[in-house]
Amino acid sequence: MDGYLFEFLQREMALTPAKDVGNWQESLSRFLQRVVAAGMPMEHATPREEFQNQCRQARNASEALLAAANACALRTREILRIDWPTRTSAGQFISGLQGQRAGSGNPLVLRCLSYMDFSGSLFYMRDFYGADLSYSVFDGCDMTFANIGRATLTGTDFREARSLDWTAWVPDDMLEADVSDAKLTKQQREAMADRRHRIVPRGPHTTQ
């Protein structure tokens, strides 16, 4: 699935009664839970493809499933709740879909992380650059050195997140990550504001 198809899916959801979309969201969340816990059941696919092709198909199917579930959540405005098996499961799932970054452009998966409940997850050094994290919940998450530069954080609940003041803000991009509408404690907001003032973008010829 690409961005154009995702946008088409969102438009179709907007034309569908919220109650029906809510039912779809419940079903898709159960499917997503199964994939997170045990992986995509490629052993049942026929005909059996070569291993590399199976990996590619599993990755694409998982991303499409996440995108469909997120499109439902954008319509219902209900949090998508996944029982992450371990503290690293959410990060591992995102990493498997994201792959290695080759530039500032993002794969579809980072557009589909809004309205997610990530409570208790470990996101140490997690790459959320430019991601849409709107209205997602990060209760008890460890955000040490996570990169949320240029991320969309409208309504994102960071109030119970740990080490948020140590997120890895990219100096030139940190001002683009608007936390004004994010849910933060007073202490978190003050700490992040202080860190913004202390970070000075350095050019290629600037010395410390």
What's residue 204's pLDDT? 44
List the domain range (segments joined by +) for residue 49.
Answer: 3-78
For residues 91 and 74, state if they share a domain: no
For residues 105 and 176, state if they share a domain: yes
CB atoms within 10 A of CB 76: 20
For residues 109 and 190, state if they share a domain: yes
**pLDDT tens digit string along 4-36?**
999 999 999 999 999 999 999 999 999 999 999
For residues 88 and 52, state if they share a domain: no
For residues 28 and 62, state if they share a domain: yes
For residues 73 and 97, state if they share a domain: no
Strand 116-117 with 80-81, pairing:
parallel
What's residue 206's pLDDT? 41
Please say whether the beta carbons of 84 and 120 come within 8 A. yes
Query: What percent of the chain is predicted at pLDDT more than 90?
Result: 62
Which of 57, 78, 99 is at the close of a domain?
78
Looking at the structure of the chain, the number of domains it has is 2
For residues 101 and 140, state if they share a domain: yes
Which of 78, 96, 130 is at the close of a domain?
78
What's residue 171's pLDDT? 41
Q: Which residues contact 132 (CB under 8 A, 6 or more apart)?
A: 110, 111, 112, 113, 114, 151, 152
Mean pLDDT of 126-135: 94
Tokens 């010829």 belong to residue:
205
Mean pLDDT of 126-133: 94
Mean pLDDT of 85-108: 94
Residue 44 counted as domain residue? yes
What's residue 198's pLDDT? 56
> Is the pLDDT confidence value at 48 over 70?
yes
Comparing 150 with 59, the larger pLDDT belongs to 59
For residues 131 and 163, state if they share a domain: yes
- pTM, to two decimals: 0.84
> Is the pLDDT confidence value at 173 over 60?
no
Tokens 């503290």 belong to residue:
87
For residues 93 and 186, state if they share a domain: yes
* Residues making up the chain, counted from first to last: 208
Largest CA distance in the chain: 60
What's residue 182's pLDDT? 82
**CB burial class (10 A; 0-12, 13-18, 19+) of residue 204?**
exposed
Give the Cα separation of 204 and 201 in Å (integer).
Answer: 10
DSSP 85: S
> Is the pLDDT confidence value at 200 over 70?
no
> Is the pLDDT confidence value at 47 over 80?
yes
> Is the pLDDT confidence value at 42 over 70?
yes
For residues 91 and 52, state if they share a domain: no
